[in-house]
Amino acid sequence: MYAFVDPQGVTHFTNRPQHDKRFKPIRPRDRLSAPRQYREPKFHAYDPLIGDAAASEGVPPALVKAVIAAESAFDSDAVSHKGAQGLMQLMPDTAVQMGVADPFEPAQNVRGGTSYLRSMIDRYGDLGRALAAYNAGPSMVDRYGGIPPFPETQDYVDRVLTYYRRYHGDFAR
């Protein structure tokens, strides 16, 4: 394989040697690989915890996994700039409210986060608004009567829903 990147940042590939000197052979270490989350062992490591918490709360496990992917990229030690902690990025007050003593302990975090997600689904009866409340807080969803007009929250809802569709197969048995 041969490739080059043009001035606009577009990568061009070919499998035939070119007379065009911009094309250079791709060395094995230059190969494209799967996104990081699919290569890391943590991607499936939490599936049993997710399945248990989801079953306990009556939430689809693929949805819980999607929230974890969007919130922490499966990093149980993640801390946001706003202070949210662990896999499901629980704010300290929310963690206490959900009975989570150690938000960095995956089982506690997933149980507490899934319980909180269930409460948002019950409160709003609409997945988009529930996810927006999980991200921006229920007061923002209440204030705007739906998904707040914040690009971060709108992108978050879209990202979680995309992951949700993608992860359905991880729990199909």
Domains of the chain (ranges; CATH) run 2-32 (no CATH), 39-170 (1.10.530.10)
52 — pLDDT class (breaks 50, 70, 90): very high
- CA separation (Å) from 142 to 114, 133, 155? 21, 9, 19
Tell me the pLDDT tens digit for each residue of 91-137: 999 999 999 999 999 999 999 999 999 999 999 999 999 999 999 99
How many residues does this entry show for the chain? 173
Q: Above 80 in pLDDT, residue 25?
A: no
Q: Which of 57, 71, 105, 152 is catalytic?
A: 71
Q: What is the pLDDT of residue 106?
A: 98
Q: What is the pLDDT of residue 172?
A: 66
Q: Above 70 in pLDDT, residue 41?
A: no
In the sheet with 2-5, reading across from the earlier edge strand, the strands are 11-14, 2-5, 24-25
For the entire predicted model, the pTM comes to 0.76
Is 152 a residue of the active site? Answer: no
Q: What is the pLDDT of residue 132?
A: 98
Distance CA 14, CA 17 (A): 8
